[in-house]
Structure 1
Amino acid sequence: MTQKALIIGTGLAGLSTALRLSSKGYAVEMVEKYHRPGGRLNLLEKDGFKFDMAPTFFSMSYEFKELADYCGIPMPFEFVELDPLYAVHFEGDQRSYLIYKDLKKLAEEFKELEVGLEEKLRRFLKAAGEIFHDTEHIVIKQNFDSLLGYLLQLTRVPLKHAPKMFYSMWKEMERNFDSFEVKVIFSLVGFFLGSTPFDTPAVYAMLNYTELVHDGYHNVKGGMYKIVEGLVAELGKRRVQMHFGVEINRFEERNDRLSAFIDTTGKRWEADLFVVNADAAAFRGQVLGRKKFSPQKLDAQKWTLAPLTIYLGLNTKVKNMYHHNYFLRRNFEEYAHKIFKNSIKLDKPYYYVNIQSMHNPDYAPPGKESVFILCPVPDLRFKPNWDDAETIADAIVQDLSERTGFDFAAHTESRTVYDPQQWESLFNLYRGSGLGLAHDLNQVGGFRPSNKDEQLTNLYYAGASTVPGTGLPMTVISSRLVTERILNDHGTLS
C-alpha cells in the first residue's frame, strides 16, 4: 500500500527529499509558508530585474549528480564552473586579487606578498584533502543513532587530524602562510559557514581543498533558481502537490506517532510520516514545545550570522569587476571578534558583491545590470532593531562606489533591502540566523539535532540545522540521510 509523506518546507533539502521518496514509491505532499518554492534558494523579481536571493554559488557539484542518479532522472539544470573563483578587494589597495584554481596562476597573484606560495599551498592543500577524505564517509555522510555512536565513529578518523579539532582555522593559516592577505583570503571559508576563522576549528580547512582542488565552485546556467525550477518540474511529473501560504503552528499525536500538523487557519494536514524542512532546532521548540529547545536554550546555542541583503537594478553595465567579489578591510581580527555580538559599528562592514547579470544576462534588461550584495551581520539576539537597515545599506553602496570608482547609487533604478527581521519573517529563520546552527565541535555530527525525532516515531528533519550541516551540497546530503532513515523504518514501496 502507498504511504503518504508530508514535507513541511520546500527548501532544497525538502525538494530533494520529496524527489527521493517519490522515487521509492511514496506519495508526497508539500506545504510552504512562502509564496513560491526554494526556501532561501529563491528568486526575487522586481522592476524588470531578477536576483538570486541568497546562495549564488556552490561546491561539491557531484552531490547534485548523485541526487539525479538516485532518482533516475537526467540532471535538471546545467552547472557552470567558476575560474577564477572570486575576487578579493582589501581596503586601501589599488588592486584586487583573483583566486584561481590553477596554483601557479594563484601564486603569481601574490608573488609580491608571499614567497614560495605555490609550494606552501600544495603542502597545505594536501593536508586539507587528507582531512576531507578521511572524514567524508565516516562523519559527514553518516546518520548517528546516539552520541556514543558518533563518538565511537570519530575513533575511526586517523589520530593525526585530532589536534586540528582544538585550534582555530586562523591558527592553521598562521602555521602555513606569512602575509596578512593570504591568511585572510584562505580563512574566508570560515565566513562561508556563517562563523569566523577565529571560532571555526582548523579541521574546516578541508573546505579550502574542496574549493581549490576537489571540485571548485559552480554557478548554474540561467541562475541559481534553475535548481529549484528543475526539481519542481520533476516533482510535477510525479504528481507531488505543493501548497503555498501555509504556516504550521500546531500538531496532533497519538501513541507516540504524529497524526497531523495544523496550520494557522486551523486546517489539518495528515500523513503516514512527516519530514520537516524548517530549522530542526527551532521547530522542535516553537511548534513541538520541547523544553530542550526553549528560547532560552536556543539562544544559548551558537548560531550563524544573519544576512543583510541588498538587491540593485542598475541602468548601465558595471565595468572592471568580476562576477563574485569580497570587500574586506585591515581590521580583520577585531571585526571577526566583534561582529557577532554587535560590538562594532556597521558603518564600514565586510560584504560580498555578486554581479548576477554578468553570467546570466536575462537577469537584467538589455544594457542594464542586476547586482546582489550580502553583508553578514549580528542576529536578532544581539541587534533586535533594524530601523537603520537602509542607512547601513547606503554606507555599503557608498563604500562600494568609492572602492571601485563606479557610482552605484547614481545608476540605481531599483533597490530592495532585506534585513534580518525580514529574513526571519519570510522563512522562519531563528533570530534571523542565515544558516542555522553554527559548526562548533559541540554542534556537529552527533551533537547536532538529529534528523529523526526523539519522541514521535514518524517525524523526521532535513536541512541546515540537522546533520550534516549548512550549505547547498550539505542539504542534498541531508536529504539522502533522512531518506535512509525513513526507508530503514518504513521500507521501500516500489
Structure 2
Amino acid sequence: MKKKIAVIGSGFSGMSAASYLAKAGNEVHVFEKHSGPGGRARQFSTDQGFVFDMGPSWYWMPDIIENFFADFGYTGNDFFKLISLSPQFEIIFSDQKIEVPKDLSELISVFEGMEKGAGKQLQKFMHDAKFKYTVGMQNFVNKPCHNWKEFISPQLIKSALKLNLLTDFRSYVSKYFKSDKLRTIMEFPVIFLGASPKAIPALYSLMNYGGYALGTHYPMGGFYQLVLAMKLVAEKLGATFHFNHTVESINVEKGKVTSLKINGECSDFDFVIASSDYHHTETLLPIAFRNYDESYWGKKTFAPSSLIYYLGINEKLPNLKHHTLFFENQLDEHIDCIYEEKMWPENPLFYVCCPSKTDKSVAPRGKENLFLLMPLAISINDEEFIREKYLSKMLLRIEKHTGVKDIRSKIEYKKSYCVSDFISDYNAYGGNAYGLANTLGQTAVLKPKIRNKKLNNLFYAGQLTVPGPGVPPSIISGKVVANQIINSKF
C-alpha cells in the first residue's frame, strides 16, 4: 500500500532513505531548511572563483557507496568521475614526512623501512582487518539494532573472537607495531569515529582496510558530486525535494505522528523519518513522546566539533598533497583536550585538504583552494579572535612545510566555521561535527534507537544512530530505516 512519507533533512542518510522508499512505490517528500541538498556535505562558490566542499573530503569505502548506486541500476561513473589519489595522503611528523602510497604493497615496504618486521605485521593486520570489514559491513551494519537477538547467528558467533569486540584499538595496534609513528598512522583512521583510540573497539581496524587497502578517492568537481548524484537518483525514483522548508514541530494524535508543521503550515504524513540531528528532532515532539531526556544526551560521548577554514590563496603552494596531516605534536595531548579537559589545544594537530592539486575546477588558474580542519571539543567558546589565533598557528606550520612565507598576505578569500556554526546550521548537539562516537558503550544496540518507542510511525536516521558516523554508514543508515517502513505491517 502506497504511503505518504516525510524525510526531515537532505544529508546522506535522508537522501538514501528517500531513494529506497520511493523505489518501493511510496510518495516521498524531503524537507530541507537550507537552499540545497547535502547537509554537512554542502558546497559553496565565491565571487573569486573558488569552490569549497563544506564537510566530508575523504572518499573511503568506495564499495559501500557503489552498493547504493547498484541498488538502483546505476554506478557512480554514471554521475561523476572518481579518481584514486596517489599518494593517498602525507603525514607530517616533527622530524619526518611520510607518504601513504596508493598501493598496499608499497605501504608494506614503507612500514618495513621504518621498523624491521613491520611490513609482515602490516600484512597480518590488514588480513584480519579485511575479515572484520567483510563481516562488519555485510552482517553488522545492516541491522536495525532493536535488540541483541539480531546478532545471534552461527556465522556471527563463530566470528566473534576474531572481531576483537572487547579489545581497545590502541592496545590492538600496539601488538603489531612498536614505532610511535607507525602506531599513529594506524590510529589515524579511527579519529573519524569520534573518540580516542583507547575508547574505540579493535573491531574498527576495518577502517584501516576500508581506507588504506581500498584506497582514498576523489570525485572530480568535489565531494558534492556524490550529493548531487544521490539527489538525482531519489528524484528519478519519484521523491520530491523541498528546500528552504524548516520543520517546526512534529504533531501527535492518538499515539502516532499525524503531521509536520513546516514553514508555519501543517502537512499530513503516514510516516516520518528524521535524518536531522536526533536530539534536535526530539525537541520538536511533546516531551511525553521523546525517546530520551536531556540527561541521557548529557552523558553521551560525542564526536568532536571542528574549527574549519576555507581559504582561497592567490598563488600555488609547493609541497602540499591533496590530503596532508600535520601531526608534529602529540596525538594524545590533543585528544585529551577534546574528551577530558574540553579546552582548546595548546599544541594542535590539524588537517589540510588542497583539492586544487587534483581538480582545476575548484580554484582559478595559478591559485590554490585550502580546507583546514582542526578537531575540537564540543560546546566550547569559539569567538572569532580565538579562531584567528589558531588560523595563525596553522598557517605558520603550513609555511614551514611549503617554504612559502607570509601565506596570510596571499589569502584572497577566507571563511571560518566552528562550533556555533554547526549549532546554527545543523542544530548539532554541542556543535558536534561527526555525530556520536563509536565507543563500545555506544555501539549497535547501545546507540539511540532508530524507531520512536512511543510512536510507531516515527524513525530516526543518520550519524547519531546506527550504524554510526561517516558518509558510508550514513548511507547505510538511510537504507536500514527505509526497510523498516517498507516491511512494516501497519
> TM-score, with normalisation over the residues of structure 1?
0.92
User: 2:34 aligns to what?
Assistant: 34
Matching of residues 77-156 of structure 1 within 5 Å:
77-91=80-94, 93=95, 95-150=96-151, 156=157
Identity rate, percent = 25
- C-alpha deviation, 1:124, in angstroms: 1.2
- C-alpha deviation, 1:335, in angstroms: 2.5
Counterpart Cα distance in 1 of 2:414 and 2:469 = 28
- C-alpha deviation, 1:461, in angstroms: 1.8
Counterpart Cα distance in 1 of 2:241 and 2:198 = 42
The question of whether the paired residues in 2 share the 8 Å contact of 1:306 and 1:378 is answered with yes
Greater Cα offset, 470-479 or 274-283: 274-283
The question of whether the paired residues in 2 share the 8 Å contact of 1:138 and 1:154 is answered with no
Matching of residues 178-189 of structure 1 within 5 Å:
178-189=178-189
Amino acid at match of 1:346: P
User: 1:8 aligns to what?
Assistant: 8
- C-alpha deviation, 1:284, in angstroms: 2.5
Amino acid at match of 1:310: Y
- C-alpha deviation, 1:448, in angstroms: 1.2
Amino acid at match of 2:222: G
Residue 383 (structure 2) pairs with residue 386 (structure 1): yes
Counterpart Cα distance in 2 of 1:468 and 1:460 = 14
User: 1:267 aligns to what?
Assistant: 265
- C-alpha deviation, 1:478, in angstroms: 1.1
Counterpart Cα distance in 2 of 1:37 and 1:272 = 23
Counterpart Cα distance in 2 of 1:85 and 1:103 = 11
Amino acid at match of 1:160: L
Residue 20 (structure 2) pairs with residue 20 (structure 1): yes
The question of whether the paired residues in 2 share the 8 Å contact of 1:302 and 1:437 is answered with yes
Amino acid at match of 2:121: K
Matching of residues 423-434 of structure 1 within 5 Å:
423-434=422-433
SS of the aligned residue for 1:187 comes to: helix
User: 1:413 aligns to what?
Assistant: 412
User: 2:467 aligns to what?
Assistant: 468
SS of the aligned residue for 2:51 comes to: strand
Amino acid at match of 1:277: S
Counterpart Cα distance in 1 of 2:148 and 2:345 = 40
Matching of residues 204-353 of structure 1 within 5 Å:
204-213=204-213, 215-263=214-262, 265-285=263-283, 287-289=285-287, 293-342=292-341, 345-353=344-352
Classify 1:236/1:112 alpha carbon distance in 2 versus 1 (closer, same or farther; 3 Å). Answer: closer
Deviation readout 1:214-240 (Å, 9 max, x if unpaired): x22221122111111222233344453
CA-based RMSD: 2.3
Aligned residues: 484
User: 1:160 aligns to what?
Assistant: 161
- C-alpha deviation, 1:181, in angstroms: 0.5
Structure 1 regions of 5+ residues with no counterpart? none
Counterpart Cα distance in 2 of 1:102 and 1:242 = 40
Greater Cα offset, 364-373 or 133-142: 133-142
Amino acid at match of 1:100: P
Counterpart Cα distance in 2 of 1:153 and 1:90 = 45
Counterpart Cα distance in 1 of 2:416 and 2:340 = 22
Classify 1:384/1:152 alpha carbon distance in 2 versus 1 (closer, same or farther; 3 Å). Answer: farther
Deviation readout 1:334-366 (Å, 9 max, x if unpaired): 332233244565343111100021222111111
Deviation readout 1:424-469 (Å, 9 max, x if unpaired): 1111111111111110112111111222221211112221111111
Counterpart Cα distance in 1 of 2:239 and 2:477 = 20
SS of the aligned residue for 1:165 comes to: coil
Greater Cα offset, 153-162 or 80-89: 153-162
The question of whether the paired residues in 2 share the 8 Å contact of 1:104 and 1:118 is answered with no
Amino acid at match of 1:200: I
Greater Cα offset, 236-245 or 390-399: 236-245
- C-alpha deviation, 1:65, in angstroms: 2.2
- C-alpha deviation, 1:100, in angstroms: 1.9
User: 1:485 aligns to what?
Assistant: 484
SS of the aligned residue for 1:439 comes to: coil
The question of whether the paired residues in 1 share the 8 Å contact of 2:342 and 2:377 is answered with no
- C-alpha deviation, 1:404, in angstroms: 2.8
Counterpart Cα distance in 2 of 1:161 and 1:283 = 38
Deviation readout 1:131-159 (Å, 9 max, x if unpaired): 22233333222123324545779962524
Classify 1:341/1:35 alpha carbon distance in 2 versus 1 (closer, same or farther; 3 Å). Answer: farther
Residue 173 (structure 2) pairs with residue 176 (structure 1): no
Greater Cα offset, 426-435 or 123-132: 123-132
Deviation readout 1:13-50 (Å, 9 max, x if unpaired): 11121122111111111111122110011102223211
Classify 1:282/1:200 alpha carbon distance in 2 versus 1 (closer, same or farther; 3 Å). Answer: farther
The question of whether the paired residues in 2 share the 8 Å contact of 1:138 and 1:157 is answered with no
The question of whether the paired residues in 2 share the 8 Å contact of 1:393 and 1:417 is answered with no
Amino acid at match of 2:402: T
Counterpart Cα distance in 2 of 1:133 and 1:358 = 33
Counterpart Cα distance in 2 of 1:402 and 1:361 = 25
SS of the aligned residue for 2:36 comes to: coil
Amino acid at match of 1:85: Q
Greater Cα offset, 349-358 or 76-85: 76-85
- C-alpha deviation, 1:372, in angstroms: 0.5
Greater Cα offset, 437-446 or 244-253: 244-253
Classify 1:85/1:10 alpha carbon distance in 2 versus 1 (closer, same or farther; 3 Å). Answer: same
